[in-house]
Amino acid sequence: MTGSRGHDGVSSPREASSSRSCARPGCPHPVIRNPVGRPRLYCSPACRTETYRLAHPAAHEPLLVEVDHGSTSSRGRPTGHIWLVRLRRGQQQAVIAVGLGRPSADHLATQIRDVITPPPLATPAKIR
Ligand SMILES: [Zn+2]
């Protein structure tokens, strides 16, 4: 992707009654409408996959829980309470908590990992 693709007049939605353009942005191919079954949105499975990938760039990335320094202007604050817990997947991230001490941050991260990490399928569920 180099961004050289021009935006030349978005195609009108009603060009023909029996076909519509592919729902993937930039795809010029029409979707051949199947007389039976659900109407398709994309001209090909590849377009459907690509569109999903563009909308969810990090869907295949693992969900990570990170404990990190809050690198914001923390001068003058006690260095023991500038940790944050962050949830990350690819380029997307969400800060769960800031201003934690390291033990608290580690504890919270462990709890979150326990929640989001599915147990191994081969292992029988633990009874707590
Ligand atoms: Zn297409």
In DSSP terms, 64 is beta-bridged to 88
Q: Are residues 51 and 87 in the same domain?
A: no
pLDDT of residue 70: 60
Q: Are residues 75 and 102 in the same domain?
A: yes
Q: Are residues 63 and 46 in the same domain?
A: no
User: For residue 29, what are the domain limits?
Assistant: 13-55
Closest CA to 88 of 62, 108, 117, 114: 62
pLDDT of residue 6: 47
pLDDT of residue 60: 73
pLDDT of residue 15: 42
pLDDT of residue 78: 55
Residue 81 lies in a domain: yes
pLDDT of residue 122: 58
- Which residues neighbour 65 within 8 Å (Cβ) at sequence distance 6 or greater? 85, 86, 87, 88, 109, 112, 113, 116
Residue 50 lies in a domain: yes
Distance 60 CA to ligand 1 centre (A): 22
Q: Are residues 67 and 99 in the same domain?
A: yes
**Strand spans (E) along the chain:** 19-21, 30-32, 64-69, 83-89, 92-100
Distance 50 CA to ligand 1 centre (A): 9
Q: 3-class SS at 115?
A: helix
Residue 125 lies in a domain: no
Look-up: residue for tokens 């930039």?
A: 26
Pick from 31, 55, 79: which residue ends a domain? 55
Residue 64 lies in a domain: yes
Distance 18 CA to ligand 1 centre (A): 16
Distance 49 CA to ligand 1 centre (A): 10
Q: Are residues 26 and 46 in the same domain?
A: yes
Confidence (pTM): 0.47
Q: Are residues 21 and 48 in the same domain?
A: yes
The parts of the chain modelled with pLDDT lower than 70 are 1-19, 34, 70-80, 118-128
Number of domains observed in the structure of the chain: 2
